[in-house]
Structure 1
Amino acid sequence: MAASTTSTPAPLTVLTTADVTAWIRRADELISDHADELTALDAAIGDADHGANMKRGLAAAVEALAAQPETPAAVLKKTAMALISKVGGAAGPLYGTFFLRMSTACAGKESIDAAALAEAVGAGIGGIVQRGNAEAGDKTMIDAWNPALEALRAGAAAPGSALAAAVDAAAAAADAGRAATEPMLAKKGRASYLGERSIGHIDPGASSTALIVLALADVVSGRVAGDA
């Protein structure tokens, strides 16, 4: 008897509207699965609500996407609006600005390749920096976003510009950036009020960022399928 085989979806070479939608849905799943962990991290140095807030915001984004936006930019804009309206504290405006700036960068595009993704993520991070006035080393989500962007840019510049390799590298870099916040002294946000006591705790915003980038990698790699 011939052995049965299970086909593995090929990695994506570009992100379509359906793929971007699948990214947000996967992010919703991962944030929901890790909501208690994110809240525990936030309890140590913040308001103890980051997990619940992000879970609520991404659930609202998924609900908003049920109307099936027609372009990647429309998906990103609807996600931004849901996060701004549903996520409390600083995270809502920061993540909302990120996705809104991404949406603007993707305007007019029917699909997003590695170079366009790096450009859009860079625009999104620029929005976070402008709104939050944070820099690398301040123990914020920027410490996960910046290395992810560096990996994306390197992947986009590599021969062949393979989207899957670039996004997988970005996910690994974001996770390493998340872990690197543990020994940092917080210089922004509520955690900065703790001074030296903020040292020894992983930043919850960097942690949710790492999950969002991982969600993108899951979709691009084919580990999670987009809509037909």
Structure 2
Amino acid sequence: MSVEAWVREFARLVTAEAPRLTELDSAIGDADHGANLSRGLNAVVSALDTSSFPDDGALLKKVGMVLVSTVGGASGPLYGTFFLRAAGALGDGFPAAFRAGVDGVAARGKSTTGEKTMLDALVPAAEALAAGKDWAAVVDAAETGRDATIPLVARKGRASYLGERSAGHLDPGAASATLLVTAAATTLGADG
């Protein structure tokens, strides 16, 4: 299992999709999700390029710390918490580490599914992983959760200020979270 390859692929996907993520955020947020997350993940890649780690847990801890310190808005603390919590549970296997990360996001954001957040993509993916589903089903679960945010009224974050006007828009956090799952499927899929 190459956790480093997963993180690098996530960075690549977010950088490629940054304009789209920012466009999604311009509809219901402050139009910086893609740019902020891409900047933070580029800092992560730089850190990976110039550091060595004794194990994957240490690598994920570094990823989390870099994201917290470089990404503005809610994304830095939320994604940073995801990787920090996942780092601590990696010894229990990837599904458990992923779930720990998701639980960390829920605790940090004081949120749950159905509130038009990244959790709408992450929780179904974590459940599919825990159930032993194949990677295609895990990605499908994330995509289905992401797409289900479109009719929702935001209950958390800047989008919640819009109230009913937030309905009809895809949540940018759920979109970037789906990229995190897609990156895992691409890089870790061979490991089952």
TM-score range, shorter chain: over 0.9
Query: Once the 2 structures are TM-superposed, how far is the Cα of residue 63 of structure 1 from its aligned partner?
Result: 1.0
Indicate yes or no: 2:144 matched with 1:176: yes
Within a 5 Å distance, the mapping from 1:134-149 to structure 2 comes to 134-149=111-126
Aligned counterpart, 2:76:
92
Correspondence for 1:43 among 11, 26, 33: 26
RMSD of Structure 2 on Structure 1 (CA): 1.2
Distance in 1 of aligned mates of 2:71 and 2:180: 15
Measured in 2, the distance between the counterparts of 1:101 and 1:202 equals 26
> 1:221, CA displacement in angstroms?
3.1
Aligned residue number for residue 95 of structure 2: 118
Aligned residues: 189
Offset of residue 82 of structure 1? 1.0
Q: Distance in 1 between matches of 2:136 and 2:55?
A: 24
Q: Residue in 2 aligned with 1:79? A: 63
Match of 2:179 in 1: 211
Give me the identity figure in percent: 52
User: 1:20 maps to which residue?
Assistant: 3
**Partner residue in 2 for 1:152:** 129
Q: In the alignment, what sits opposite 2:86?
A: 102
SS of 1:34 mapped into structure 2: helix
Deviation at 1:129, TM superposition (A): 1.1
- d(CA) in 2 for partners of 1:118, 1:215: 14
Where in structure 1 do 4 or more consecutive aligned residues deviate above 3 Å? none
Equivalent position of 2:106 in the other structure: 129
Structure 1 CA distance, aligned partners of 2:109 and 2:3?
25
2:156 maps to 188
Instruction: Give, in whole Å, the separation in 2 of the partners of 1:169 and 1:204.
Output: 21
> Which residue number corresponds to residue 55 of structure 1?
38
Ranges in structure 1 where 5+ consecutive residues have no aligned partner: 1-14, 110-114, 157-164, 223-228
Q: Deviations over 1:5-24 (max 9, x none)?
A: xxxxxxxxxx2xxx111111
TM-score (norm: length of structure 2)? 0.95
